[in-house]
């Protein structure tokens, strides 16, 4: 059972390679796994450098989204007025397609790295914000009553009850936001790349597409997928470790 995903993946790759060879499909149309590996081996440094650039944007955006998400979630948990003021705008931010506003952000922000981080942050922000807000509200009413009974102020209740109660929610939101930060970074890179700057994997995909280097395009795509899987796995492991350390698992 444990090896089922790996076995299925290996079988699919073998079938893909066999189908491409048997049908003699040209590699500029659909490259087989062997051609994709060959394209990666031909220029590993270039692709890995671009992956590093994309990951830098991803993690910077994730850090900003997590910080902003927690701060705003605490703000709306502390004040009904702030909740009424902030929540609708958070939803607006979530439903606005980043592709539509990325060109504006790139123009307004100016600095290429900062503009990519802003775009990726907008995409990654909502899950960590919404989850943390739900977590802060999840503390049982009776426990909140007990804190009141013992004279705890808002800050003490936040520190000893609401924030610890929100931790599993925050970690679940962070895991979702991790994947979305990568998606946001790639989307922003596509927009920025077409504007002629940045060096992330999305730009490599665009570049390879223009040059009809389809195996290299696929190699960049595979790296992106592997990065997404690694981020998801890494944040899942991090969440499990934090919960285990706290004694929840």
Partner 1 sequence: MTLVMLQLTSVGRRFGAVEALRDVSLTIGAGDFVALLGPSGCGKSTLLRLIAGLDQPDTGRVIWEAGHQPKPGEIGFVFQDATLLPWATATDNVFLPLRIAGIPRDQAMPQVNRALHRVGLDGFEAARPRQLSGGMRMRVSIARALVTRPRLLLMDEPFAALDEFTRHKLQEDLLSLWQELGCTVIFVTHSIYEAAFLARHIVLMTPRPGRIDHEIASPLHPGAPARLDPAYATLVAQVTREMQRALTA
Give residues in contact with partner 1 (CB under 8 A).
140, 142-143, 145-152, 156, 160-161, 164, 167, 246-248
Q: Which is nearer to partner 1, 146 or 229 (CB)?
A: 146
CB of 161 to partner 1, least distance (A): 7
Q: Which is nearer to partner 1, 164 or 195 (CB)?
A: 164
CB of 148 to partner 1, least distance (A): 6
Q: Which is nearer to partner 1, 164 or 228 (CB)?
A: 164
CB of 218 to partner 1, least distance (A): 46
Q: Which is nearer to partner 1, 157 or 177 (CB)?
A: 157
SS3 letters across the chain? CCCHHHHHHHHHHHHHHHHHHHCCCCCCCCCCHHHHHHHHHHCHHHHHHHHHHHHHHHHHHHHHHHHHHHHHHHHHHHCHHHHHHHHHHHHHHHHCCHHHHHHHHHHHHCCHHHHHHHHHHHHHHHHHHHHHHHHHCCCCHHHHHHHHHCCCCHHHHHHHHHHHHHHHHHHHHHHHHHHHHHHHHHHHHHHHHHCCCCCCHHHHHHHHHHCCCHHHHHHHHHHHHHHHHHHHHHHHHHHHHHHHHHCCC
CB of 63 to partner 1, least distance (A): 25
Q: Which is nearer to partner 1, 93 or 143 (CB)?
A: 143
CB of 210 to partner 1, least distance (A): 53
């Amino acid at each position: 059972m444990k090896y089922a995903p790996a076995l299925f993946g290996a079988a699919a790759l073998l079938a893909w390679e066999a189908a491409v060879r048997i049908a003699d499909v040209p590699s500029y149309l659909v490259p087989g796994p062997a051609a994709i590996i060959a394209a990666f081996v031909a220029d590993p440094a270039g692709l890995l450098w671009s992956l590093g650039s994309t990951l830098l944007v991803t993690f910077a955006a994730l850090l900003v989204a997590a910080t902003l998400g927690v701060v705003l979630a605490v703000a709306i948990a502390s004040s009904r007025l702030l909740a009424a003021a902030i929540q609708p705008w958070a939803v607006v931010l979530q439903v606005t397609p980043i592709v539509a506003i990325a060109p504006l952000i790139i123009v307004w922000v100016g600095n290429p790295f900062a503009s990519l981080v802003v775009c990726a942050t907008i995409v990654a922000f909502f899950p960590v914000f919404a989850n943390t807000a739900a977590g802060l509200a999840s503390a049982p009413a009776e426990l909140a009553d007990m804190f009141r009974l013992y004279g705890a102020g808002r800050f003490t209740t936040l520190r000893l009850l609401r924030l610890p109660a929100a931790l599993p929610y925050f970690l679940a939101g962070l895991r979702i936001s991790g994947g979305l930060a990568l998606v946001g970074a790639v989307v922003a890179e596509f927009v920025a790349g077409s504007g002629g700057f940045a060096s992330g994997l999305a730009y490599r995909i665009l570049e390879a597409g223009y040059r009809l280097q389809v195996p290299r395009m696929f190699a960049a795509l595979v790296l992106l997928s592997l990065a997404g899987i690694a981020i998801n796995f890494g944040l899942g492991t991090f969440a499990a470790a934090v919960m285990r350390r706290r004694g929840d698992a």
